[in-house]
Amino acid sequence: MKARKLSVAAAVCVMAVLLMSCEPAGSLSGGSGRANDYQVARQALETGNYTLAVQRYRRLVTQTGDAAGRLHLEYAHSLLRAGRFEEAIDAASGIISGNSGSLAANARAVRGTARHQQARDLLAQGQRSEVTRTLLREAQADLGEFLRSHAQLDAAGAMAARAQMIAVDLREAG
């Protein structure tokens, strides 16, 4: 349990660094309502109020469409932090398919982390099934690509450490 808390804390730290290193988010123009929603969403994410963060980011991405890739990334990250792993995987996948560069790389880190956390939940329930192994292999591929293409974004080494944890979890999953 202590290792899991450490891994979640490490993921939180690296996600904050990753989000700060993204390309520009696009415009939040359109009135103080959007800017206020963004400030509330960001503060909620940073202070652990993930339900509020998800709600506000969902509203923002609905209003801004696909133009604001960083908002979509922050929304995916809020879903990850809220433990809504399947939704985080879906949101990050959409970012990856429509973008490149550090935005797509950071989305791979979010998706890989969400897949790994989902697999760890299954392992904790004693499920060492093909579903669990597939999640782990996909997480390994996501983080491997992130580290190959944008290792400089992993200055704290949290994603590299997570990649090592995935290798251990794969052995445990059989």
Distant-in-sequence, close-in-space partners of 96: CB < 8 Å, separation ≥ 6 = 104, 107, 108, 111
How many domains, the chain?
A: 1
Task: Give the length of the chain.
Answer: 174
Residue type, 134: T
pLDDT-derived band at 49, boundaries 50, 70, 90: very high
More confident residue, 24 or 138: 138
Coil, strand or helix: which one is 92?
Answer: helix
pLDDT tens track for 67-105: 688 899 999 999 999 999 999 999 999 999 988 999 999
Distant-in-sequence, close-in-space partners of 9: CB < 8 Å, separation ≥ 6 = none
Q: What is the CATH number of the domain that holds 106?
A: 1.25.40.10
> Residues 75, 61: contact at Cβ < 8 Å?
yes
Longest dimension (CA), the chain: 53
> Residues 71, 55: contact at Cβ < 8 Å?
no
pTM for the full model? 0.78
Closest by CA position to 174, among listed 129, 118, 140: 129
CA 33 to the chain's CA centroid: 26
Supply the range of the domain harboring residue 37. 2-173
What DSSP element (H or E) covers 43? Answer: helix 32-47
Confidence (pLDDT) at 63: 86
Instruction: Tell me: pLDDT of 42 over 60.
Output: yes
pLDDT-derived band at 18, boundaries 50, 70, 90: very low
Confidence (pLDDT) at 23: 37
Confidence (pLDDT) at 31: 47
